[in-house]
Amino acid sequence: MKGFRIPLFLFLTLSNTILSQTLVEPNQNFLWESFSFQFPEPVVVKMESTSQKKLTVYPAKRDGFFMVVRILPWGEPMPDKNLWVDSVFQKPINPKRSERSILGKTFQVFEADQIRNQNALRNQVWIRLNEKPYLWIWLQWKSDRKDLTAFFESNLFLSL
């Protein structure tokens, strides 16, 4: 009798599974792993099980932004933090890099404007590599949504 074999499509399905989807109301603390987030409007939060722990956030009622959060699997900090930035920013306009400290947690923040599909977009990539678990957050929102600009640029989404 030959060994049991799992078909490739079944293995891929099991290794990239959506664990849950949740509706989160505005200004409600949403806990994921050891992190707490808040959102400016009702959102759908999708948790996935992949090789990296991943959280994806979409607006529930109207278009305007999305957010992807990943816990990075490295045992040591990455020397080239620009690797993640380059994977997000395509033809960035006015790119900036800064360091922000929120409740004692330090993040490298990369920001840039972009034009995609005829939409003017703001992007931020937040990277925390100085403390485990290492964290990567990508925020993207439409530039004409000034309410979102004020919310995300004031760090209100992070209630660590």
Task: Give 46's pLDDT tier (boundaries 50, 70, 90).
Answer: very high
pLDDT tens digits for range 150-160: 898 888 898 76
The percent of residues in the chain predicted with pLDDT above 90, rounded, is: 26
What CA–CA distances, in Å, run from 129 to 76, 93, 98?
A: 8, 25, 14
| pTM of this structure | 0.79
What CA–CA distances, in Å, run from 130 to 24, 51, 99, 105, 125?
A: 29, 21, 12, 9, 16
Contact 82, 97 (CB under 8 A): no
The beta strand positions in 33-72, using DSSP E, are 35-37, 43-49, 53-59, 65-72
What's the mean pLDDT in 7-35?
69
CATH, domain range 21-153: 3.40.1000.10
